[in-house]
Structure 1
Amino acid sequence: MFSQSATDGELISLASRGDQQAFGTLFDRHAEVVARYAWAFRPDAADVQDLVQETFSTAWANRASVSIVDSSLLPWLLAVCRNHARNLARKRAKEAHLELPADFAHPAEREHLGERERLRWVMSEIEKLGDIDRRICELCLIEGVPYNNAAASVGVSPAALAKRVERIRVKLRRAVMES
């Protein structure tokens, strides 16, 4: 057991031996500051929550080798948060690049025949995909099923599914742009 006045160094040392309560105290002590710092990188509350979670998950995974600066874990946590934020920004930029044009997002809202024709054309392009890719497209791109669930449904790993989705998006985007 430890006192609430224990230093970050003492708490991380206890956590490195598996003391989850000590790590919980570190979380309680620093999570709010890490969250405020994360807001500087991402304007979305869900992204901020993800950054805080990723930061503390990284701290837990590396608790035996964490460097304490000036008796505080906070500088290390903020550096980890910044790195996760940069990774997330790169991921979001890549996702934005691979998205289909916005006018294909909600087929029920189409009012113009030309747009409906283009949508039919894209759907015919989807039909040309192989069985697994077509099912992945339906699950992930049309129905919005999370990758983990879709991967289990089609019998591939989430990483393999993510690569296939990326290839499908590029293929469909290229087909749309060439039409």
Structure 2
Amino acid sequence: MELSARARIRAGDPVAFGDLFDEHARVVYRYAVRVTGDWTAAEDIVSLTFLEAWRVRARIRPEGESLRPWLLGIATNVLRNAARSARRHEAAMKRMPGREVVPDFSDELVGRLADAEELAAARVALGRLRKAEREVFTLCVWAGLNYAEAAEALGVAEGTVRSRLSRARTRLRKLTETERELPSGRGQLIGDDRAPAVRSKQERHS
């Protein structure tokens, strides 16, 4: 994004902020869908992300390229807060009927994860990772950030992103192998035919 646009957003220009929304809302939405597995919840995440972005717009760096890492960093924090709220209500939710995953995710929304069943299975695997590893994986692999952008989004060093992503991939491979040994109907988390889904943006271009 041009520096003049950054300056306008920092100054509270609603037109410039509207352009920011038009440019990046779909990216934030895709990221939220993949993390939550729920398109309605993802819409809420997008709304909360841009509301928070407007509130903290003065924190935007005066110089830089895309604001996508900044927005996805805010989205990650929003998702963390949503997860904490969900845990606080876990006991109540357990008394409610199980919620079915919406079966009609489009290819446009889930990319290489072809349907809701695969998305749900992938989320099961990711749910077994440590939070820090899961966030790096979803930002680098699903949201397409490179190491530097993910580091900016999370407020950590680039080397930390690299090590967390490496650990996440190692653990996912082990989980996949374990699932394959289970009875039929399980074991379709992220197999070899899903290899492109666990190859980060920077490796594809290396």
When normalised by structure 1's length, the TM-score is 0.49
The structure whose Rg is larger is 1
Instruction: Name which structure has the greater RCO, CA cutoff 8 Å, separation 6+.
Output: 2
